[in-house]
Amino acid sequence: MASALFNENFLRRLEHLRFATRRPASGHLRGLHRSRRTGSGMVFSDYRAYTPGDDTRNLDWGIYLRLDRLILRLFEEEADLPVYLFVDASASMAFGEPSKFDFARRVAAALAYLALVDHDRVSVVAWADGIARELPVRRGKAQVWPAFRFLQGLTASGGTSLQGALRGYFGGRRARGLVVLLSDFLDPEGFAPAANFLRQFRHEVFALQLLAPQEARPDLPEEVTLVDAETGASDTVHVTPSLIAAYREAQEAHCRSIESVCRAGGWTYRRAQTDAPFEELMLRSLRDEGVLR
Amino acid sequence: MRLLAFPPGVTAALLAGVAAAIVGLYLLKPAPRRIVVASMLIWDRVLQRKRRDAERWRWWLSLALALAIGLAIAFALTQPEPAGAGAAWRRIVIVIDNSPTMRTLRGDGRTRFEHALETARGMLAEGGTARRILVTDTGGTLGSRAFEAPRRARAVLDSIEIADDGAPRFPVLDAADRGDEAPEVVFITDGVAPITPPPGTRLLSVFEPAPNVGITAFEVRSPPGDARRFEAFVAVANAAPEKVSVTISIAGAGHDAIVRELDIAARDTARLTIPVAEFGGGTLQATARVAGDSYVGDDAAYAFMPVANRKRVALVSAGNRDLERALRLDPRIALSVLGTRQYAHRAGFDAYVFDRFAPAVAPAAPALLLRPPKVPWLPAPGREREAPTIDAWLEGQPVLDNVSLREVEIAHGAAFSAADASLVLARDTDGGALIIASAAIPRWVATGFSLQDSDFAAQTSFPIFVSNALTWLLDETPAVARPLGMVSVPLERARVLTPEGNALDTRFVPGATLFQADRPGVFVAEGSTGRLRVVINRFDPAVTEVNASRLATLPAAAPAGARAALVWEPWLLLMLGAFALMLLEWWTYHRRLTV
């Protein structure tokens, strides 16, 4: 999958990026992200009085000579970042050409690659009306291929319930990290309940809403029976320009409602159309949004 | 409401059919395509705002428009006429003179008939409110007649042709034609044919003086006493108001055409006798040519000239001066008189006439037998009776053509057994066959009475009878003259051939065959009992006199010209309405107001 998704040049350019976190990382393992803990990092953090048992390598000998006091220099310890990639695998994601599901898997693969290269811990969760499949926590560049294979093995089916999936996954203890939501957010329950649930864990959240070009600009015959890909429900409509206009308005309103929920929680939101250049999204748009740096 | 194109039942069926077809097409619309979308979440929100009632309303609006369009077009096809409109509309009867003189050319090279049609077309194209026109003619060639819309009346007008046969007459306008209010009657004519229009008729003249020379008589005959000399009698009339130089030509087989030049005074007729024996027989054609002749229908005439060679006929008799004299009067035959004893030693005759004698064996040539005795090859004569009276005879049979037997008085005679005779030509009051004949070769004709026992030889028709009998016996095809038009020939179930040898359509009546002769020429009728040449000519001085018009002082009618104006008839309004509805449908469809 990797060879099909990414070329060498893209991967090399991807390696120059890393996740940008607004808050210090809370990983337990050493990584490349700033954490709240002080330790053996490279970035000076503070001073404190020496107490027996401290590492004497961090004593500030200049202060000792001037003030005759043992002061210990503190450094920020760099930790790894737990990254939770939530890939929407509901039936609605199979819609479009190129399909939203393929696009979401490519984004997830790229972000997983990025995280694993930076020695972050990566979890991939495929969800529909609950957790469909889960890739347990992986770390290290060697886990790139298992992560790719996992993504390649996913299929899109079933309904959509983000709240159910989040409840299922975060019901256990999970380190605070970056939650990446890759979905079309066509959730009958709406996005707000899931967002409210997720907000309590104080994760950093990046929501990428995917739209197929056929959703953004539907091209339908005059008389058509529309069939819901997830529920099978159908409705016959007479397609008129005014109806199309109303649909686009509703579509825009739906996207804006997702965005407003995200912005209200201080989350990062991005809308992407699946026929847009993928590398442009990864190398520029996500940096502009502050997701990568 | 009156429907001009269809009966009410058909109209109702048409409208119902159109409506059913339109509704059916709407109900049988194919199911819409099924397209899978990611989710109906967004669509449901949109569709909740769009009322379903609006969809239904649009469907009904669309159906109503389609029904209105379809029914308007179908109803227009029925050509409805509002009730009472017929009475309010102007009604005009246009009578076209299509007698033969309407073929006369005018100075512009077009015939009077074409001018008449043009004048009538101009009247049809005249503007005004709705009118109903009845177009008819003087020749009676049109079938049904009815007041029509100008457009349909024009089609009737285009179907009129000149009628060459029959007497032209002004059509009778019955009560149905006249209606409650008398229509305006217009008669377009050249005024030559003797047609008297009813009072109040508006006359439009297409007459214009024209030069014409025509043959009014043409006949070929032999002068008395010389059967081998034939002369043609030709009468040529000049209808022009000035003297003309005419070239008369007689053409036939076996000799160069005979040409005569002569001057004919204004409105005069020249009569010539021209020897034509050089042609040796067959069809002769006479033509009269003059510069600028305006009517070609009378420029040619036909006659049939019998073959001139004489037939050898033997009269076998113990002595009959009346019969011998009658036979010698016939210029076609060379007569030999034989006694009954000499008959057995003489042969080589083309025909025999047996007087109160019959050979025991049938002769090799045809024979006319007067009161023959009983012989095996002839039907046996019955018992001798006193004063039988001829009561009926076949007038159309060639032997009795132009022969009257009514005055013949017979003192003694015997009727033949009718059952044995192939053809009974005359019967007595008791039905006995007094004159019989056989068409089987060699032919024979036999009478049940002799000239000595009757006064037949003293009758004027006796020489004709003898001549006819010899003609028939010798199988010389006789010729009869008839005018153009429907011709009757006295042959049953005969086949009629044109001068070119093509068979004509015929109708059969008892004892005769009818056919339509639409041009001059020598036609041939072939029946089971004989063959007949029918010489057809248009010998009508009244037709040749193309300038004898009663409307000579009336100025010629000017064509109405292109003053046509649109007549808003109901069917036209319906079609316009349908067109407007189609535009509305197009407009609403493209604005998604209709489905």
pLDDT of residue B562: 44
CA distances, B507 to each of B142, B340, B396 (Å): 21, 48, 17
Across the interface, whether the CB atoms of B43 and A223 are under 8 A apart is answered: no
Strand arrangement of the beta sheet that strand B300-305 belongs to: B255-264, B244-252, B282-289, B300-305
pLDDT of residue A1: 47
- Return the residue of B nearest to A252 by Cα: B42
Q: Give the least confident one: A131-135, B169-173, B572-576.
A: B169-173
Higher-scoring residue by pLDDT: A245, B539: A245
The answer to whether residue B40 neighbours chain A at the CB level (below 8 Å) is yes
**Closest of B105, B101, B174 to residue B134, by C-alpha:** B174
Q: How confident is the model at residue B531 (pLDDT cuts 50, 70, 90)?
A: confident
Contacts of A160 in chain B (CB under 8 A): 39
Give dist(CA B540, CA B548) in Å, integer.
Answer: 13
pLDDT of residue A290: 76
The answer to whether residue B579 neighbours chain A at the CB level (below 8 Å) is no
Q: How many CB pairs under 8 A join A and B?
A: 88
- B267 residue type, one letter: R
pLDDT of residue A286: 80
- pTM score > 0.95 for this model? no
Q: Give the least confident one: B161-165, B224-228, B521-525, B566-570.
A: B224-228
pLDDT of residue B50: 65
The complex's ipTM works out to 0.78
**B252-270 pLDDT tens trace:** 877 888 999 999 998 899 9
Across the interface, whether the CB atoms of A233 and B49 are under 8 A apart is answered: no
**Interface probe with B: pick from A238, A244, A254, most Cβ of B within 10 Å:** A238
Residues linked to residue B235 through DSSP beta bridges, in sequence order: B217, B271
The answer to whether residue B55 neighbours chain A at the CB level (below 8 Å) is yes
pLDDT of residue A13: 74
- Return the residue of A nearest to B29 by Cα: A223
A window 98-137, beta carbon within 8 A of B: 100
CB B399 within 8 A of CB B445: yes
The answer to whether residue A222 neighbours chain B at the CB level (below 8 Å) is yes
Contacts of A241 in chain B (CB under 8 A): 592
pLDDT, chain B, mean: 84
> What average pLDDT does range B536-540 have in this prediction?
86
* Helix (H), strand (E), coil (C) string for chain A: CHHHHCCHHHHHHHHCCCECCCCCECCCCEEEEEEEEEECCCEEEEEEECCCCCCHHHECHHHHHHHCCCEEEEEEEEECCEEEEEEECCHHHHCCCCCHHHHHHHHHHHHHHHHHHCCCEEEEEEECCCEEEEEEEEECHHHHHHHHHHHHCCCCCCCCCHHHHHHHHHCCCCCCCEEEEEECCCCCCCCHHHHHHHHCCCCEEEEEEEECHHHHCCCCCCEEEEEECCCCCEEEEECCHHHHHHHHHHHHHHHHHHHHHHHHCCCEEEEEECCCCHHHHHHHHHHHCCCEC
- Using CB atoms, which residue from A186, A235, A250 is nearest to B38? A186
Contacts of B42 in chain A (CB under 8 A): 186, 247, 250-251, 254
**B434-454 pLDDT tens trace:** 999 987 778 899 999 999 999
Contacts of A235 in chain B (CB under 8 A): 40, 43-44, 47
Across the interface, whether the CB atoms of B592 and A228 are under 8 A apart is answered: no
Residues linked to residue B35 through DSSP beta bridges, in sequence order: A226
Query: Is B256 exposed, middle or buried, given 0-12, 13-18 or 19+ CB atoms closer than 10 A?
Result: exposed
- Using CB atoms, which residue from B33, B35, B39 is nearest to A186? B39
> What average pLDDT does range B279-291 have in this prediction?
86
Contacts of B32 in chain A (CB under 8 A): 221, 223-225, 236
- Using CB atoms, which residue from A215, A220, A233 is nearest to B38? A215
- Return the residue of A nearest to B43 by Cα: A247
**B461-508 pLDDT tens trace:** 898 899 889 888 887 666 888 888 889 888 888 999 998 889 999 999
Residue B289 above 60 pLDDT? yes
pLDDT of residue B353: 94
Q: How confident is the model at residue B414 (pLDDT cuts 50, 70, 90)?
A: very high
Report the gap between the CA of A210 and the closest CA in chain B (Å). 12
**A161-213 pLDDT tens trace:** 999 999 999 887 788 888 999 999 999 999 999 999 999 988 889 999 999 99
pLDDT of residue A40: 60
Contacts of A100 in chain B (CB under 8 A): 38
Q: How confident is the model at residue B4 (pLDDT cuts 50, 70, 90)?
A: low
The answer to whether residue B440 neighbours chain A at the CB level (below 8 Å) is no
> Rounded to 10 degrees, what is the CA torsion of B359, B360, B366, B371?
60
pLDDT over 70 for what percent of chain B?
A: 88
User: Could you say which residues of chain A have pLDDT below 70?
Assistant: 1-7, 20-43, 76-79
Q: How confident is the model at residue B58 (pLDDT cuts 50, 70, 90)?
A: confident
Best mean pLDDT range from B105-119, B217-231, B554-568: B105-119
Q: Give the least confident one: B147-151, B526-530, B589-593.
A: B589-593
pLDDT of residue B129: 47
**Interface probe with A: pick from B39, B43, B48, most Cβ of A within 10 Å:** B39
> What average pLDDT does range B381-390 have in this prediction?
89
